[in-house]
Amino acid sequence: MSKNIYLIIASFCLALVGFALWIQHMGWNGVLYAPCPLCILQRLAYLGIASACLLAYFSKAWKPWFHAIAGISALFGLSVVLRHMWVIFHPTVSCGWDPLEIWINQWSMVRKLNWLLQADGLCSAPLPPVFGLSVPVWSLVCLSLLTIVLLSTWVVARKK
């Protein structure tokens, strides 16, 4: 796999987190998108992918390990977004104002970076679409793509 793909993946993930911060703090079409606990876990997955890919880009000896960590982060994010989609389709179930939110918001990292990681929205809250799709659907598409790219390049590298 080309070394530059790691830089592209990391940039893509950081751009997605940046856009999430933009719609959270600045809004989209006049609506502020408060992140729910599952949104925060997805952000952590994107940041994990970006961090691992940046480390893989700069490290030759540890590149396979960082690639594996990026793949695991992508699979984690994919599992979280699938749970998020399930919650959306079952509105009687919620992940907001529950132990998950309290647990996430008590992490010391969240208290220090509350503008980035504090969960204060409801997972089942109906928000207007962004570019025609809801934010969780966009995250499902992006995490699926990232998982496919990372796992397929890992399989190809293992065969060599």
Q: Answer yes or no: are the C-beta atoms of 70 and 59 closer than 8 Å.
A: no
**For residue 155, what is the domain's CATH number?**
1.20.1550.10
Structural domain containing residue 20? 4-159
Q: Which residues of 87-114 are buried (b: 16+ CB within 10 A; e: fewer)?
A: bbeeeeebbbeeebbeebbeeeebeeee
Number of domains in the chain: 1
Q: Answer yes or no: are the C-beta atoms of 92 and 71 closer than 8 Å.
A: no
Q: Which of 1, 93, 92 is closest to 38 using CA atoms?
A: 93
> Residue 21: in which H helix or E strand, if any?
helix 4-25
**What's the confidence (pLDDT) of residue 52?**
95
**What's the confidence (pLDDT) of residue 37?**
87
Q: Which of 156, 151, 138 is closest to 70 using CA atoms?
A: 151
Q: In tens digits, what is the pLDDT along the chain, a chain of 160 residues?
A: 578 899 999 999 999 999 999 999 898 888 888 888 899 999 999 999 999 999 999 988 888 899 999 999 999 999 999 998 888 888 776 665 566 677 677 777 777 777 677 777 777 777 888 888 889 999 999 999 999 999 888 777 667 6
Q: Answer yes or no: are the C-beta atoms of 98 and 129 closer than 8 Å.
A: no
